[in-house]
Amino acid sequence: MTLNIVLVEPQIPQNTGNIARTCSVTGARLHIVKPMGFSIDDKKLKRAGLDYWGELDITYYESLSDFYTKNSGACYYFTTKARHNYCDVAYPDNCYLFFGREDAGLPEELLKQNPDSCVRIPMRKNIRSLNLSNSVAIGVYEALRQWDFPELEEKGNLARLSWDDTTES
């Protein structure tokens, strides 16, 4: 199963670094549509992504039209303006979850062209929105939950102790 995360014109390097880390630990592919509000060698970006950057499957695009020329599949647009709940979608294999820039979201023209594919994470009225990296994590884990977390380890081990007994390991 392949999950694709699309960031359209991200502006804050720490958010993109956190999203890169989420993609790395889940196996999601990251697509970044330019222009970005920072350079890819930004220290804040790398610090947030830590040593996960080398595990990342990432592709850059010059524009949304460049992205659509090179990709196809079901697209879901995460936005505070949507009329549909993100949990009400059955995310298919190789789908694309789109997220907009931190200060403006996705272009309204794009949303207007795709009303049935626009989804919202429920939140309180009159509060602007969740942080971008939190929103991406919510979307990623909902799709993966529906797919029964393919290829992800679901059980962990204690570092010093064992779940099976009370002695140190």
User: Which residue ranges make up the annotated binding site for S-adenosyl-L-methionine?
Assistant: 100, 121, 129
Q: What amino acid occupies position 105?
A: G
Q: Convert 129-165 to b/e letters by CB count within 10 Å (16 or more is b).
A: eeebbebbbebbebbbeeeeeeeeeeeeeeeeeeeee
Cβ–Cβ < 8 Å for 142, 87: yes
Q: Cis check for the bond before 35: say yes or no (omega within 30 of 0).
A: yes
Write out the binding residues. 100, 121, 129
Query: Rounded to an integer, what distance in angstroms lies between the CA atom of residue 11 and that of residue 43?
Result: 14
User: Would you say how long the chain is, in residues?
Assistant: 169
Q: Name 75's Cβ contacts closer than 8 Å, sequence gap at least 6.
A: 6, 95, 96, 98, 114, 117
